[in-house]
Amino acid sequence: MKTIAVDDAMWKKLKQLKDERGVTFEDIIEDALFKAEKIPRSMFGAAKGLKPLTQKERKEMWQDDNRD
């Protein structure tokens, strides 16, 4: 975790947004960065909704069939 410094006016704006939206400061900053970079939210976490692979599935996927 890191700390950033903002002036009082920015602090008030961030705090107001946080309270209005019921989210974290990190959510507010992340949202601003996505908008600034014009990255659609749909591209965040491209594998969203997929369940993690099991160890067995991982092993099968990465198994080198060319080994003898």
Please indicate, yes or no, if residue 1 is contained in any of the structural domains.
Answer: no
Dig out the tokens for 7 from the structure.
Answer: 């002036």
Stretch 47-67: mean pLDDT: 68
pTM of the entire predicted model: 0.52
The whole-number pLDDT of residue 35 equals 82
Q: At 44, phi and psi to the nearest 5?
A: -80, 120
What is the number of alpha carbons within 13 Å of residue 62 lying toward its C-beta?
7
Please indicate, yes or no, if residue 2 is contained in any of the structural domains.
Answer: no
**pLDDT tens readout for residues 16-53:** 999 999 999 999 998 888 888 776 666 555 555 666 76
Domain of 44, in residue numbers? 8-62
Angle at 51 between CA 37 and CA 53, to 5 degrees: 110
Confidence label for 66 from pLDDT (cuts 50, 70 and 90): low
Euclidean distance between CA atoms 3 and 1, whole angstroms = 7
User: Into how many domains does the chain fold?
Assistant: 1
Phi-psi region of 50 (alpha: psi -120 to 50; beta: other; left: phi over 0): beta
User: Is the predicted pLDDT of residue 7 greater than 90, yes or no?
Assistant: yes
